[in-house]
């Protein structure tokens, strides 16, 4: 899979800014946005899609919207992707209505439909676009600075899963097949090492060896699922800390975003990814590995927040495996970064040639820290579950 080419950023040369405005001005009317486009910026944080925040003047008021050009290499069936997202958003908003939640428009994404009622628009080049209302007064975090932030994020994802526990059938589409199939990633990595089409294996020898020595843990979660100990549920599947919007004024976690991979899966995938992106004080591409380690107070807060909202639908095995989930998803993500590095950076956007190798090294260092503290992490889960 190759990543899509980014459109020009408004922060670049004047010609690039004008090209961006022309592109967005052409798609806006199809989403019923007939105001004047007065500004647009490209968001550079995401790995997959091209994302732009655009400001329109509509009458005497201005409003901001998020336009995204969907990466069709990563999501080759965008119609199914958008069917999932529309169903999930509609369900969340209905739950908020029933609960009479305060400020519901900011607690779930608002998908802007096209003028013919579709959840996406296909431009003349065949690119798929979607549009959301920009949720004002919010921010995201790439790292967790305090245990309280971790507690709020854990509660947000637990609540998100709980709200989707009664999503009516049929089953959601699998937007990325085998997304958390750790064994499949392991086999793909082995093929990438053997093929070594970009002559990069020599620079990643120690990381490759680290993975090979841990093959015995590859099937840990899958084995529990096969034995019936883990239940398939509707989960986020990409629950990074920066996929939660926090209210700037109150610091409350108000909305879970980036719904591309919401589909059937295991809660272990969600908690594991949240732990992976919360426990270290550094970002996932930090190259100074002395700054990559597990902070046990943050893990304790994460468990407290998550179990506060998710306990009503979790079983005992799911709770027992929370520490293992953190290790497994960190291991899996490290493998994915390493594989992408070996394959020439075809999936994750790379800002420099060894970016994905740096990400892999970061994840494996975090994994080693988790392994060193696994007993302490298990003791924390037991303490929290007992109240």
The tens digit of pLDDT for each residue in 223-281 reads 999 999 999 999 999 999 999 999 999 999 999 999 999 999 999 999 999 999 999 99
With a CB cutoff of 8 Å and minimum separation 6, the contacts of 219 are 182, 183
Q: What is the pTM of this model?
A: 0.88
Contact 278, 144 (CB under 8 A): yes
Give pLDDT tens digits for 206-230: 999 999 999 999 999 999 999 999 9
Architecture of the structural domain at 147-386 = Alpha-Beta Complex (3.90)
384 vs 74, which has greater pLDDT?
384
Per-residue confidence (pLDDT) for residue 17, from 0 to 100: 79
Q: Is the pLDDT of residue 8 over 50?
A: no
Kindly report the backbone phi and psi dihedral angles of residue 112, in degrees, each rounded to the nearest multiple of 5, phi listed first.
-85, 120
Return the CA Rg of the chain: 21
- pLDDT at position 4 over 70: no
CA distance 295 to 278: 9
pLDDT at 15: 61
pLDDT recorded at residue 6: 35
pLDDT of 378 > 80? The answer is yes
d(CA 276, CA 279) in angstroms, rounded, equals 6
Residue 246 phi, psi dihedral angles, 5° rounding: -110, 140
19 pLDDT more than 80: yes
pLDDT at site 145: 93
- Domain definitions of the chain by residue range: 14-136, 147-386
Closest alpha carbon to 38 in 26, 23, 53, 56: 56
Amino acid 348: pLDDT:
85
pLDDT confidence of residue 162: 96
Q: Tell me, which fold does domain 14-136 have in CATH?
A: Phosphorylase Kinase; domain 1 (3.30.200)
Residue 58, pLDDT > 90, answer no
What's the pLDDT at 371? Answer: 97
- Angle at Cα 238 formed by Cα 234 and Cα 242, nearest 5°? 125
Distance CA 128, CA 35 (A): 22
Residue-wise pLDDT tens digits, 81-92: 999 999 999 999
> Is residue 106 over pLDDT 80?
yes
More confident residue, 341 or 74: 341
pLDDT for residue 45 is more than 70: no
| Residues 6 or more apart in contact with residue 68 via CB below 8 angstroms | 49, 50, 51, 52, 129, 130, 131, 132
How high is the pLDDT of residue 353?
A: 95
Mean pLDDT of 144-151: 96
**Tens digits of residue pLDDT in 190-209:** 999 999 999 999 999 999 99
Peptide bond before 242: cis, by omega within 30 degrees of 0? no
pLDDT > 50? residue 304: yes
Question: What mean pLDDT is predicted for residues 58-70?
Answer: 93
Q: Is the pLDDT of residue 3 over 80?
A: no
Report the share of the chain in percent with pLDDT over 90. 87
- pLDDT of residue 13 exceeding 60, the answer is no
């Amino acid at each position: 899979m190759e990543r899509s080419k980014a459109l020009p950023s408004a922060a670049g040369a004047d010609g690039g800014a004008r090209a961006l405005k022309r592109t967005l001005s052409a798609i806006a009317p199809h989403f019923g946005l007939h105001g004047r486009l007065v500004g647009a910026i490209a968001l550079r944080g995401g790995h997959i899609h091209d994302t732009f925040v655009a400001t329109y003047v509509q009458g005497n008021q201005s409003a901001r919207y998020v336009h995204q050009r969907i990466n069709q290499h990563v999501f080759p069936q965008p119609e199914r992707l958008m069917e999932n997202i529309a169903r999930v958003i509609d369900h969340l908003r209905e739950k908020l209505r029933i609960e009479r939640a305060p400020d519901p428009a900011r607690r779930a994404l608002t998908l802007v439909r096209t003028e013919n009622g579709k959840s996406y628009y296909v431009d003349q080049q065949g690119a798929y676009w979607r549009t959301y209302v920009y949720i004002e007064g919010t921010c995201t975090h790439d790292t967790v600075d305090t245990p309280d932030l971790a507690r709020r994020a854990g509660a947000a994802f637990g609540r998100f899963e709980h709200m989707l526990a009664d999503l009516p059938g049929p089953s959601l589409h699998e937007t990325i097949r085998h997304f958390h199939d750790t064994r499949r990633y392991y086999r793909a990595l082995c093929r990438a090492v053997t093929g070594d089409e970009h002559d990069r294996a020599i620079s990643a020898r120690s990381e490759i060896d680290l993975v090979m020595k841990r093959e015995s843990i590859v099937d840990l979660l899958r084995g529990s699922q096969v034995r019936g100990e883990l239940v398939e549920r509707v989960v986020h599947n990409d629950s990074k800390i920066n996929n939660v919007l926090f209210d700037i004024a109150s610091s409350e976690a108000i909305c879970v975003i980036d719904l591309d991979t919401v589909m059937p899966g295991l809660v272990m995938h969600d908690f594991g990814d949240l732990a992976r992106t919360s426990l270290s004080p550094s970002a996932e591409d930090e190259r100074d590995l002395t700054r990559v380690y597990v902070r046990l107070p943050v893990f304790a807060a994460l468990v407290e927040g998550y179990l506060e909202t998710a306990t009503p639908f979790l079983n005992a095995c799911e709770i027992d495996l929370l520490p293992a989930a953190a290790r497994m998803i960190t291991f899996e993500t490290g493998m994915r970064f390493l594989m992408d590095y070996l394959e020439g950076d075809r999936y994750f956007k790379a800002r420099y040639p060894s970016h994905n190798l740096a990400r892999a090294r970061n994840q494996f260092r975090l994994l080693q820290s988790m392994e060193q503290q696994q007993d302490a992490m298990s003791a924390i889960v037991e303490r929290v579950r007992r109240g």
